[in-house]
Amino acid sequence: MSATPKSLAELRDLYGPHLNLAPPGGWDADLEPDKLVKTHCCFCGQQCGIQLKVKDNHVVGFEPWTDFPFNEGKLCPKGVKRYLQGNHPDRLTSALMRTEHGFAEVDWEAAMAHTVNEIERIQAQYGKDAFAMLSGVSLTNEKSYLAGKFARLGLGTKNLDYNGRLCMVSAGVGNKKAFGVDRAANAWVDIVGADVIWVTGANVAECAPITTDYIWRARDQGAKLIVVDPRITPLARTADLVLPLKPGSDCALTNGVLHLLHKWDFIDWKFINAHTTGIEAAIEEVRDCTPEWTSRLTGLPVAAIEKAARMWGEASTSFLLHARGIEHQSKGVENVLGCINMVLATGRIGRPNCGYATITGQGNGQGGREHGHKCDQLPGNRDIENPEHRKYICEVWNCTDEELPHKGLTAQEIMNAIHAGEIKGLLSLCFNPLVSLPDTEFTREALNKLEFYVNLDFFLSETAQHADVVLPAALHEEDEGTTTSTEGRVIRINKAVEPPGDARPDWEILVEIAQRLGKEKWFGHFTSPEAIFNELRVASKGGTADYFGITYQKIEQNMGVFWPCPSLDHPGTPRLFEGGKFFHPDGKAKFIPTSWRPPMEVVDDEFPVWLTTGRVVFQYLSGTQTRRIGFLVEQCPHPYLEIHPRLAAAHGIEEGDAVEITSRRGALVLPARLVKTIRPDTVFIPYHWPGELSANRLTARHLDPLSKIPEFKVSCVRIAKTAKDRFPAELAELQRMAFEARTDQADLPEQVF
Amino acid sequence: MVSDEHGFFIDPQRCIGCRACVGACAECGTHKGRPMIHLDDMDRMDSPQTVPTVCMHCEDPICAQVCPADAIKRTDDGVVHSSQKPRCIGCENCELACPFGVPIVFSGMEQMLKCDLCYDRTSEGLKPMCATVCPSQALLYVPKHQVLGMRRSKPVREFLVGALKVKTRTAVMVPDPDIPLHLDAASLIEGGF
C-alpha cells in the first residue's frame, strides 16, 4: 500500500534533491538585511550561535554571532550554508496525498480529514498500539515534549520512539546506570584546562567541528591528546597517542586500561571510597585483562596500550569524550560504562578541568532525550514504568493511569513490527529511516506494508516518498522554541521568517491532529511554543532533567541556562557532580563491570573485512537537508569506500576503481578512495545517501540489548574490484550535480570517473 | 584603515579541511558567491593534512609589481587589495607570478579578485570572515603580541621563493617539532606509534 508512487527517477525530478546554489534572487540581488535574528544552527548537537540575515521574509545569509560563548562566531560549513534550505525549489508548501498517478497537492482540510480518518480506522480495527509514531531529536524541546504527550494521550499508543535511538542512546543508558543522570558532566570550558584528553569513537573534527578548538587550546597549554579510532581522523593526525583499534574492540581496551590503572596503583581510593560503589567487582572483572590480552583483541601493540594507561593514570586533570564510534555497537552501553569506569577510577570528575561527556550528534540530541519521546520515558527523564513517576505526570497531564500507555517498542523494533504486520499505521516526523536505519532493504519492505503512513517534513525525504499523506512542516528558522546543546545548555531558537504556503510548524500540526481526534482537553491550551515549554517546566520538575527554573527570558539574559535548574532563582548547573555528589539515591556513582564479548558479527573467510560507517563534515545525518545545498554537495557529492593501500593492493584496487562491497544484507558498488589513515583490515563508508548508495544496505539490525541501538559501527564485508559500468546511475547524477555547483553549468563536459 | 595591532596567522597544523572558510568567504557581499580562499588536500592517500591559503599581503607585493596596468594597490595598513576594475585587463600576470597562488582572474569578469583581509570588516574592527568562522582556528586573527603565548607553533613572516626573499603581513605558523604526526594506521598497529 505504501510503496512509492511513480519511479524513483520521476520522484527525484519533482521533489529533488535539487541544489540551491545562491541566496533568494541570486548573488547580484540586494541582500542588505532588514534584520538580524540571533538563533542557533539547525544541525548538530554543538548548537552554535548564529545570526540569520532576514530580508522580505527570506533568510538571505548569516552573520557570525561572536558574543555567544560556546562558539564565539565559529561555524562549520553546514552552519555557513544552512540558510540555503529556505527558498529552496524542493520545499514542500502544500499537503500531498498519494493517488494512482503519484502525489497530488491537496488542500489542508482534505489531508487532515483523511489522516484522522485513517488513524481512527486503524486503531478501531487493530487496536491503539497498531498505530505507531517515530520522531526525531532535531526537534526543539517543546516539540519533543509534545511528541511524547501526543503519542500517549493524542493517539493513545505506547509505540512512540525517536531517532535518538540511532544516536547517543547507549550513552544515555550508561550514564543513568553509572551516575543516575543522563547529561554531559561538564560545560566544554573544562576541556581547555585538562592535562589529558581521551577521545574515543568520536570524529570530532568532522562531526563536532567546534570542539576541535577547545581541544587544541588545551594542547597549546600542554595537554596530552589520546585518540582511539580505527581511522586516523583529522584530530588524530597530530595527537600524542593514536590507538587505531579493531572495530568493536573498545570494551577490551577500556578493560585493559583499567587493569593497568589498578596494577600500577593509579586508582584514587579516597574519591572511590567516599563517592562510589562497586569498584571491587569492576576490578575483578578486568583481573585477566592484561596488555597482551588487550592487544590480541584490539589489534594494538602492547606498548601503545601501556603508554595510554600511563598517560591517563599519571594525569592530575582529564576530560574523556566519546561519541557514536563506541555507542553504535551491540555492546554500546558496556563501551560507555568502560569509559566511565576509567574516569571514576581516577576520581577525575565533578571538579574544574575534570570531566566526561558524550558528544551528542543531533541538534537537540541532549534535550530531545529528556522530555518523554522515548518509548520508555516520561518528561523530566522519568521512567514510564515507575508508579510514582506515572502518578506525577498523570497529575500534570490531568489524565488517569489507565489513559497513560506503558512502555512501547524502540525505533528498530517498531520497524520490525511493521515488517511483521503487527503495526499497520505510522506517523513520523524528523526521521528518515530509509537512509538512517540499518538494513535498508528491510526498511523499504516494511514501509511498503503500512496500511497508512503520514509524514511531516519540509522536503520529500526518501522515507516520505512512501507516505500516503505528507504534511508540509516548517524549517528551523520558521519556528521558535528551545534546544539543549551537547553541554547541557538550554538555549533559545528564534523565529526568523514565516513558513511558506501551507507549511506550518510541527507542533501546530500535532495539536490540530490531537484536537480532531477529540483530545482538545489535553492539547487545546498549546497555542505557542512557550505555552508548551511552560507545561514542560512543570512536568520536568523534580525529575533529574529539571527545567522548572528555566524561562525564555532567563535563557536570553544568560546566553543559555544549564539544567538542572530547579527554581527560578537557581543559576543552573554547568558542572555536574561537584563535591562528588551523584544522582543515585545514595548520592554515589556506580562502577559497573563490563565483561568482554565480541561484536554480533565477526570477520571470517566469507566476509573477511571489517566495515565501519560514519559521517563527513559536509553532510548531516540522512542528508535530507544537506544533500540539497550546492556548496556542501560540491565538497562531498557521494559516498566512497575508504580503504588502506595495502588492502587495496591485495585486491588489485586502485584509486577511483569500482569496488563491490558485499555483506550478509546486501551489496553496493562505490569508488575506492585509497587512504593510509585507516586500518588495513577495515573499510569505511559515509552513510548520508539513499538507494543504491546507502551504506546501510550493508549494516545489520543487531541491537544493544539495553539501549537497542543498532550496531552501525561493526559489520563484516567482502570486497572485489568490478567494472566501472557497474557504478549506480545515482553516482553519475551526483557527480553532475557537484559539477553544476562548481561551475553553474548543468552538463558535464566529460565523464568524471 | 585596518589596525596594525592585529595579525593574521595561518596555522595549517590545525586545519581540519572543513572548508567553512571557503564557504563563508563566498558569502561576502562583494564576492557574490566567489570564494577567494584556496583550500588544498596535500595528498589524501598519505595524509589527512589540508592547507588553507589566504593572501599573505606581501610588503612588496609581486602581484602588483608584475601588473602592467598598475591595477593592484597596497594601502598604508599593509593590505593588498583586489585589482581596480577600471584598470584591470585580466591578463593573469598576477595569477601566474604570485608565489602563494592567491589571485584569481574570474572568467567572464576579466578582473582579478583576491583576499583583501575582509577590508570591509577588518577596517571596522571585526575579524575577517574566514578567521571568525574557522572551527579549529587554523585561521587566526588576534593581537600580534598574544600569539606567541597562545600557540605552540611559531609565526613566520619571511619566505624564500627561489632566490627571492618575501616579507609578508600575514604569518604562517610553523609547527612545534615535538608534536607528532601520524599518517599511516598500519605503521601504528605495527608499533610505530
Rounded to a whole number of angstroms, the distance from the CA of A679 to the nearest CA of chain B is 5
A219 touches chain B (CB under 8 A): yes
For the stretch A599-656, pLDDT in tens is 999 999 999 999 999 999 999 999 999 999 999 999 999 999 999 999 999 999 999 9
- Rounded to an integer, the average pLDDT of A46-74 is 98
At residue B110, the pLDDT reads: 86
For A644, the grid coordinates are 588502506
Report strand pairing: A382-383 vs A102-106: unpaired
C-alpha cell at A296: 590480541
Residues of B in contact with A239 (CB under 8 A): 180, 182
Q: B106: pLDDT confidence band, cut at 50, 70 and 90?
A: confident
Q: Residue A39 in contact with residue A12, Cβ under 8 Å? A: no
Q: Does A302 touch chain B (CB under 8 A)?
A: no
Which long-range contacts link A514-521 to residues 24+ away (Cβ below 8 Å)? A514/A150, A514/A153, A514/A154, A516/A112, A516/A113, A516/A116, A517/A116, A517/A119, A517/A120, A517/A154, A517/A155, A519/A153, A519/A154, A521/A398
Minimum-distance CB partner of B151 among A220, A235, A635: A220
Percent over 70 (pLDDT), chain A? 98
pLDDT for B193 equals: 59
User: Residue A516 has what pLDDT?
Assistant: 98
pLDDT: which is higher, A13 or A271: A271
Residue from the list A80, A220, A231 with its beta carbon closest to the beta carbon of B152: A220
What are the residue ranges of CATH 2.40.40.20 in chain A?
609-743
Chain B contact for A76 (CB, 8 A cutoff): yes
Cβ pair A87, A31 in contact under 8 A: no
pLDDT category at B149 given cuts 50, 70, 90 is confident
Label residue B44 exposed, middle or buried (CB < 10 Å: 0-12, 13-18, 19+): middle
A528 touches chain B (CB under 8 A): no
Residues of A in contact with B175 (CB under 8 A): 238
B48 to chain A: closest CA residue? A234
B151–A213: do the CB atoms touch at under 8 Å? no
Strands (E), A109-218: 131-135, 160-162, 196-200
A618 and B CB contact within 8 Å: yes
Q: What is the pLDDT of residues A318-336, one digit of tens each?
A: 999 999 999 999 999 999 9
ipTM for the whole predicted complex goes beyond 0.85: yes
Predicted confidence (pLDDT) at residue A749 exceeds the cutoff of 60: no
How far apart (Å, rounded) are the C-alpha atoms in residues A258 and A432? 39
Domain with CATH 3.40.228.10 in chain A: 169-358
A676: chain B residues, CB-CB within 8 Å: 45-47, 183-186
**Cβ-based neighbours of A371, under 8 Å, separated by 6 or more:** A141, A144, A145, A148, A379, A380, A536, A539, A540, A545
Q: Which residue from A142, A137, A143 is spatially nearest to A167, judged by alpha carbons? A: A137
Distance separating alpha carbons of residues A264 and A477, to the nearest angstrom: 54
DSSP state of A630: H
**DSSP-assigned beta bridge partners for residue A683:** A611
- What pLDDT, in 10s, does the model give residues A581-594? 999 999 999 999 99
pLDDT the model gives residue A751: 44
CATH of domain A95-161+380-570: 3.40.50.740
What homologous superfamily does CATH list for A169-358?
Answer: Dimethylsulfoxide Reductase, domain 2 (3.40.228.10)
Contacts of B140 in chain A (CB under 8 A): none
| Bridge partners, A455 (sequence order) | A428, A470
CA B171/CA B155 separation, integer angstroms: 6
A:144-163 residues touching chain B, CB 8 A cutoff? none
Distance CA B97, CA B66 (A): 7
Residue numbers in B near A306 (CB within 8 A): none
Instruction: Reduce the DSSP state of residue A643 to 3 states and report it.
Output: strand
A240 close to B (CB below 8 A): yes
Angle between helices A169-179 and A332-345 (to 10 degrees): 40
How many CB atoms are located within 10 Å of the residue B186 CB? 18
Contacts of A395 (CB under 8 A, 6+ apart): none
Name the DSSP class of A139.
Answer: S
Q: How far is A674 from chain B (nearest CA, A)?
A: 5
Q: What is the mean pLDDT of chain A?
A: 96
The amino acid sitting at A252 is A
**Which class in CATH covers the domain with range A609-743?**
mainly beta
pLDDT computed for residue A471 by the predictor: 98
Task: List CB contacts (< 8 A) between B193 and chain A.
Answer: 241-243, 301, 303-304, 307
The alpha-carbon gap from A723 to the nearest alpha carbon of chain B, in Å, equals: 22
Q: How far apart are CA A467 and CA A582, in angstroms?
A: 45
Tell me the whole-structure pTM to 2 decimals.
0.97
What gap in Å lies between CA A628 and CA A618, rounded to an integer? Answer: 12
Model pLDDT for residues A99-147, shown as the tens digit of each residue: 888 899 999 999 999 999 999 999 999 999 999 999 999 999 999 999 9
Q: Which candidate, A594, A142, A70, places its Cα nearest to that of A340? A: A594
Cis peptide before A564 (omega within 30 of 0): yes
Residue A25 CB neighbour total at 10 angstroms: 14
Across A190-204, A734-748, B47-61, least confident range: A734-748
Report A:186-205 residues touching B (Cβ under 8 A): 205
Summarize the confidence of residues A30-39 as an average pLDDT: 96
Q: Could A213 and B16 be called an inter-chain contact, meaning their C-beta atoms sit closer than 8 Å?
A: no
DSSP tag of A298: H
Q: Is the Cβ of A79 closer than 8 Å to some Cβ of chain B?
A: yes
What separation, in Å, do the N-terminal and C-terminal C-alpha atoms of chain A show? 39
pLDDT (0 to 100) of residue A6: 73
What pLDDT, on a 0 to 100 scale, did the predictor assign at position A473? 98
Place A457 in a pLDDT band, splitting at 50, 70 and 90: very high
* Set of chain B residues whose Cβ sits within 8 Å of the Cβ of A79: 20, 133
Q: Closest Cα of chain B to A567: distance in Å?
A: 35
Give the residue range(s) of CATH 3.40.50.740 domains in chain A.
95-161+380-570
Q: Which domains does chain B have, with CATH numbers?
A: 6-189 (3.30.70.20)
Indicate whether B32 pLDDT > 90: no
* Mean per-residue pLDDT, A380-397: 98
Confidence tier at A212 by pLDDT (50, 70, 90): very high
CA distance readout (Å), A626 to A21, A128, B167: 12, 36, 41
Pairing of strands A481-484, A489-493: antiparallel
Cβ partners under 8 Å of residue A707, min gap 6: A165, A169, A170, A172, A173, A174, A327, A332, A333
Nearest CB partner across the interface for A234, out of B17, B26, B27? B17
Q: Do A80 and B45 touch (CB under 8 A)?
A: no
In this structure, the number of other CB atoms found within 10 A of the CB of residue B68 comes to 10
pLDDT score recorded for residue B78? 96
According to DSSP, the residues that pair with A106 across neighbouring strands are A95
Q: Hey, are the CB atoms on B48 and A677 less than 8 Å from each other?
A: yes
B-facing residues of A in 669-728 (CB < 8 A) are 673-680
CA distance A194 to chain B (A): 16
Q: What is the pLDDT of residue A9?
A: 80
The one-letter amino acid at A168: M
By the CB < 8 Å criterion, does A21 face chain B? yes
CA of B90 vs chain A CAs: smallest distance (Å): 19
**Grid cell 548508495 in the structure block, residue:** A693
Task: Count CB neighbours of A12 within 10 A.
Answer: 19
- How many A×B Cβ pairs under 8 Å? 158
**Percent helix, percent strand, percent coil in chain A, to nearest 5:** 35, 20, 45
Test the B interface: residue of A74, A82, A612 with most B CBs within 10 Å: A74
User: Which chain B positions have a beta carbon within 8 Å of A618's beta carbon?
Assistant: 18-19
Per-residue burial over A488-520, b if 16 or more Cβ lie within 10 Å, else e, is bbbbbbbbbbebbebbbbbbbbbbbbbbbbebe
Q: How confident is the model at residue A8 (pLDDT cuts 50, 70, 90)?
A: confident
Q: Check A74 against B46: CB less than 8 A apart.
A: no
- Is B135's CB within 8 Å of A76's CB? yes
User: What one-character-per-residue DSSP string does A329-347 give?
Assistant: STTHHHHHHHHHHHHHHTT
**Per the CB < 8 Å rule, is B20 touching A205?**
no
Out of A62, A76, A233, the one facing B18 most closely (by C-beta) is: A76
- The residue type found at A255 is N
How many Å lie between the alpha carbon of A581 and the closest alpha carbon of chain B? 34
Q: What angle do CA B181, B187, B191 make, to 5 degrees?
A: 100
Distance CA B47, CA B36 (A): 25
Per-residue pLDDT of A134-189, as tens digits, reads 999 999 999 999 999 999 999 999 999 999 999 999 999 999 999 999 999 999 99
Q: Please give the residue of chain B at the shortest CA–CA distance from A215.
A: B136
**How many whole angstroms separate alpha carbon A593 and alpha carbon A117?**
51
Cα separation values, A514 from A120, A150, B141, Å = 12, 7, 53
Neighboring chain A residues of B188 at a CB cutoff of 8 Å? 232, 242-244, 304
Residue A753 in this model has a pLDDT that exceeds 60: no
Q: Is the pLDDT of residue A752 over 50?
A: no
Cβ contact, residue pair A238, B181, below 8 Å: yes
> In this complex, do B193 and A301 lie within 8 Å of one another by their Cβ atoms?
yes
With CB atoms and an 8 Å threshold, state whether B20 touches A304.
Answer: no
Cell numbers representing residue B78 in the block: 599593509
Distance from C-alpha of A661 to C-alpha of A616, rounded to nearest angstrom: 20
